[in-house]
Amino acid sequence: MNEELIAKITSEIEARKEELLDLLSDLVAFPTVSPPARNTNEVQGFIKGYLEELGFINDKWDVYPNDPNVVGILQGKSSGQFNSLIINGHVDVAEVGDTKEWSSSPFEAYQKDGYIYGRGVADMKGGIAASLFAIKLLKELGVTLQGDLQFQSVIGEEVGEAGTQDCVERGYRADYAVVVDTSDLHIQGQGGVITGWITIQSKETYHDGIRRKMIHAGGGVRGASTIEKMMKVIAGLQELERHWAVTKSYEGFPPGTNTINPAVIEGGRHAAFVADRCSLWVTVHFYPNEDFEEVITEIEQHINAVAAADPWLRDNPPEFVWGGKSMIVDRGEIFPSLEIDPEHPGTKLLTNSFEKMLHQQPNVGMSTTVTDAGWLGRAGIPTAIFGPGKLEDAHAVNEKLQIQQLLDFTKVLAIFIAEWCNTKKEEKHHDIF
């Protein structure tokens, strides 16, 4: 039966290529650019309708006004005994910049030389379209799923908005999850990213004319420029960054990938004042085996020690604000890290499905960027990133996706869904192809 199913899935996907590309083109036509965001209600309504036609029970709710999540559940015939699966993807796309640089409208997909072009084809409406099409194909082929299949169409990934986190907080879980974001068909985990603000606030505000009394012998004014004091904080961050580079590593990442970037600095009132407030916006990259709360603790302990060694900072210590649910609203974001377990039954079956459908071994490793997958992993859901599209094409002018890779992804995901959702919970998968 399975050999026959493999052949049928392969032939159907190849024969119905244009149907898949039309679906992707329909998704691209929704201009869901983020920022500015607040523009996904229509595309989410389209996806909700598509899922309803396939028999899904849907939950649609606003994360932000006009930016809803959609979670659809196709209940299995024997949910309690068989594995459940989450397929997760984000509908927002990157900014397009000056559209004059594009060969045609970013939201009118077109095909050329074996590629489909348009904003979001690689990141990541290609993954969403292929997943929806794979599910539709299984239904049409009469494949019954014993375990629950859950489709999460989320908002906000491009600007660190917590669409997937909202799904987790709403209680959605499964035995395994595949985030179908850009991975060039590699099966991946990822490091994490968190942003934070470090602020130094003076208790007093001084006129620029007082500066001499603050910096020369016998001046008698115990004040300081917060901009200058922030230089000590930055130096402390650089020391910690070097320490991390020497003492920490993770297989699959070049040494020193765990960085602390002083990205933005804001300080002072204007030229007639000694700066009484200065804030530094930092971006921190950390490894898959680290949690962002542990990383925050390390940074704060180190910078507090730096401040304790300075007579003025000791009485005016730095304040910290970490993360946020939106780069637009909060000016902050969190992307938790994700370790991938190659020996987990879900990962092994995904690898096996790739080999059977494409007749080669997949690359199992680490992503050099971040996705929403970390939120699922942090919730205790074994998760892998696996999707079509190359990272260099994501966010690019004339964004493109190789059509054959889109078809190959659809084949692998279809057979993986069919097998995983028909494997008993905690039962090791046996190769029955």
Taking only the tens place, the pLDDT of each residue in 36-71 is: 999 999 999 999 999 999 999 999 999 999 999 999
Strand, helix or coil for residue 194:
strand
Mean pLDDT of all residues belonging to the chain: 95
What topology is assigned to 192-322 in CATH? Alpha-Beta Plaits (3.30.70)
The secondary structure of residue 427, as a DSSP letter, is P
State the Cα angle at 117 between 115 and 118, rounded to 5°: 155
Strand pairing class (85-90; 149-154): parallel
Evaluate if residue 213 carries a pLDDT over 60. yes
Q: What is the pTM of this model?
A: 0.94
* pLDDT, average across residues 175-180: 98
Sign of torsion over alpha carbons 135, 414, 71, 57: positive
**What is the pLDDT at residue 428?**
54
pLDDT at 246 over 50: yes
Q: Look at residue 154 in the predicted model and tell me its pLDDT.
A: 98
Query: In this structure, what token pair is assigned to residue 185?
Result: 């068909």
Active-site annotation holder among 67, 92, 123, 333: 92
The full set of domain ranges for the chain reads: 2-190+338-420, 192-322
Which residue in 157, 166, 399, 419 is the catalytic one?
157
The reply to whether 157 belongs to the active site is yes
Distances from the Cα of 94 to the Cα of 34, 45, 70, 121, 374, angstroms: 6, 20, 20, 11, 20
Q: Which of 150, 166, 45, 133 is nearest to 88 (CA)?
A: 150
Q: Indicate the residue type of 288.
A: P
User: Is 401 a residue whose pLDDT tops 90?
Assistant: yes
Nearest CA to 245 out of 255, 234, 236 is that of 255
Buried b (16+ CB within 10 A) or exposed e, 219-248: eeeebbbbbebbebbbebbeebbeebeeeb
pLDDT of the residue at 427? 63
Q: Do the first three CATH levels of 2-190+338-420 and 192-322 match, i.e. the same topology?
A: no
- CATH number of this structure's domain 2-190+338-420, picked from the four choices 3.40.50.12780, 3.40.50.300, 3.40.350.10, 3.40.630.10: 3.40.630.10
Check whether 431 has a pLDDT greater than 90: no
**367-393 burial, b for 16+ CB within 10 Å, e for fewer?**
bebbbbbbbbbbbebbbbbbbbbbbeb
Q: Is the pLDDT of residue 1 over 80?
A: no
